[in-house]
Amino acid sequence: MTRSATENKGIWNWIDRIQGDKVIWMILILLILYSTVTIFSSTSQLATLETSRLDIFLEQIITVGIGMAIVFFCYFCLRIGWIRVLSQLGFFVSAVLLLMLLFRIGTVELNNAVRIIMIGKLQLNVYEFVKIFMIVYLAWAIHAYKSGSFWIADQLAARSRHLAFLARAGWKRIIYIYIPIIFVTLCIMEGGFSSAMFIGTIMIATILIGGVPVKDIAILVAAGIIAIGGSYMLYKVSGEKIMAGRWTTVESRIGRLFNPQPADELVEGTKEWREHIDDIRQPEGAKIAIKEGGMFGKGPGKSTQKYSVALIFSDYMFSFIIEEYGLIFGAIPLIVLYISLLARGSLIVRYCDNEYAKTVIAGLTLVIAAQAMMHMFINVGLGPLTGQTLPMISHGNSSFIAFSIAFGILLSISKMAKKKIDQATREAESLIAESCPAETSASEDGTEPAESGQQTV
């Protein structure tokens, strides 16, 4: 055997010894490759006199390195027991971050919204982390509810007759599951209506997957609808002063989607005309990028819409990818990757014995795939702009690091199910071999059925 053959065999043996789910590893690596290539080409407008595109690219490489370090740490160092313990802090950390936004503690306003906290020179997009932290927290809360392990509530109920109600199952669901969901959604609504709707929906889907009664979820959804309606009424009654920034944005985006106003109806050069042009420039530019990309794209680095669509590297990354790589090499592979992640998550859930692990896997794969699909729908004009980035691809340190945490947890927990998946695969292969004995025997001696003296019909 040659040296190169031995090295190749060693590489494949090393890959075969990977305990985590190899399909998720492959999806993660391909998404990072997409991100690295597209960020370098799409960030022309971020370049300044002091910062070149090469600097932005190197910054992305550093972000990728930090993200992969987080993935490897979760994969090699965190067992499911540790993940479950840390999950209890998910709501507490989320609440602290959201309250900092609410009371403007170390915050920065960006694109007419307060979503970022400055930690030194690092910008932390709170919503990106909250969606991940709340999924793992709710998975813990549902598991604790089913196993009856809410230690603090049980202790308080046992020590005080005035708090005896805390021992009831209904009150535990309200305190540990429903109140956190309502609190987080209301806090996010103050800074971004679309983000509140998306994250709230993901949280409700997570507890539904975890087995919370549908009746309770229906009540929770009804309460959310009432809260949204009440907020809008308060905005109107106050003369459009309370929560004016958020509701004005919502009205304008929905209005542009369902009742777009032609620019030729406005007087050119007026304030209304300029605002209208600014409002439609990005979504229309994204549609032009998709049309010009066509089936095969213009080629790497040949995008023209990146000069007119200000946020093409984040909110409209899918359109940019189609413009440069087309439907065949850009859009379709990405859609396949995200759908494959969701399908692989479903398979892992099927072979997991741990209820907590099932809920975490389902929730995290759902949020990644759902955000990707929402981003794509908005880029093709099927929804108003929400600011949701393309997971692991769009430019943004907070988003990349938050989803790196999600992938690290997925890969760590997937080690539990790998043995069962491999066993099921071997059983399926043996069943196939038993059902096709002639083909199996022929393949073993290297001959076709006709060559071994068997007649084919």
Cβ within 8 Å of residue 457, ≥6 positions away: none
Whether 72 maps to a domain, the answer reads yes
Cα 233–chain centre separation:
32
> In this predicted structure, what is the pLDDT of residue 39?
86
Per-residue pLDDT averaged across 63-91, rounded?
93
Res. 424: pLDDT tops 70: no
Residues sharing a CB contact under 8 Å with residue 452, sequence separation 6 or more, in sequence order: 441, 442, 445
Whole-number pLDDT of residue 309 = 79
> Same structural domain for residues 73 and 178?
no
Residues 59 and 133 in one domain: no
Within-domain flag for 38: yes
Instruction: Summarize the confidence of residues 61-89 as an average pLDDT.
Output: 93
Beta-bridge partners for 123: 118
Whether residues 40 and 104 fall in one domain: no
Same domain, 122 and 199: yes
Between 68 and 152, the more confident residue is 68
The percentage of residues in the chain with a pLDDT greater than 70, rounded to a whole number, is: 77
Q: Do 234 and 130 belong together in one domain?
A: yes
Is the pLDDT assigned to residue 44 strictly greater than 70? no
* Co-location of 246 and 177 in the same domain: yes
Residue 193, classified by CB atoms within 10 Å of its CB into exposed (0-12), middle (13-18) or buried (19+), is buried
What pLDDT is stored for residue 181 in this prediction? Answer: 95
Last residue of a domain, one of 416, 432, 448: 416
In this structure, the answer to whether residues 206 and 297 fall within a common structural domain is no
243 domain-assigned: yes
Contacts of 99 (CB under 8 A, 6+ apart): 105, 187
Note down the domain range covering 244. 89-259
pLDDT score, position 451: 45
Q: Which of 193, 226, 259 corresponds to the end of one domain?
A: 259
Q: Report pLDDT digits (tens) over 232-277.
A: 788 778 777 776 666 777 766 676 666 665 655 555 656 565 666 6
Q: What is the mean pLDDT of residues 351-370?
A: 93
| Whole-number pLDDT of residue 269 | 59
Counting the structural domains of the chain, the total is 2
In order of 22, 220, 327, 401, 410, the CA distances from 69 in angstroms are: 18, 38, 32, 10, 15
Contact in structure between 387 and 315 (CB atoms under 8 Å): yes
Any domain includes 137: yes
Dihedral angle over CA of 355, 358, 362, 363, nearest 10: 50
Residue 15 lies in a domain: no
Whole-number mean pLDDT of the chain? Answer: 83
Exposed/middle/buried for 441, CB within 10 Å: 0-12, 13-18, 19+?
A: middle
- Among residues 115, 25, 43, which one has the least CA distance to residue 407? 25
Check pLDDT > 80 for residue 43. Answer: no
Look at residue 449 and tell me if it is in a domain.
no
> Edge-to-edge strands of the sheet including 107-110?
107-110, 113-119, 122-125
Q: Which residues are within 8 A (CB) of 370 and not within 5 positions of it... i.e. 6 or more apart?
A: 198, 202
Q: What is the pLDDT at residue 358? A: 93
Q: DSSP readout, 78-127?
A: --HHHHHHHHTTHHHHHHHHHHHHHTTSSEEEETTEEEEEEETTEEEEHH
127 and 191 share a domain? Answer: yes
For residues 319 and 378, state if they share a domain: yes
Instruction: Evaluate whether residue 105 is within a structural domain.
Output: yes
Name which of 325, 317, 264, 270 is nearest 293 in CA terms.
325
68, 136: one domain: no
Single residue among 259, 274, 293 that ends a domain in this structure: 259
Confidence of residue 100 (pLDDT cuts 50, 70, 90): very high
Q: Are residues 190 and 122 in the same domain?
A: yes
Pick the more confident residue, 44 or 159.
159
Residue 73: predicted pLDDT: 95
Could you give the count of Cα atoms lying within 13 Å of 260 in the half-sphere of its Cβ?
13
The helix/strand/coil state of 444 is helix
Question: For residue 452, what pLDDT is reported?
Answer: 45
**Same-domain pairing of 175 and 287:** no
pLDDT-based confidence at residue 194 (cuts at 50, 70, 90): confident
| Residue 329 in domain | yes
Higher-pLDDT residue of 84 and 278 is 84
| Euclidean distance between the first and the last CA atom of the chain, given in angstroms as a whole number | 41
The residues that bridge with 122 in the sheet, in sequence order, are 119
pLDDT score for 8: 56
Residue 338 to residues 28, 63, 378, 444, 452, Cα–Cα distance (Å): 10, 21, 16, 38, 46
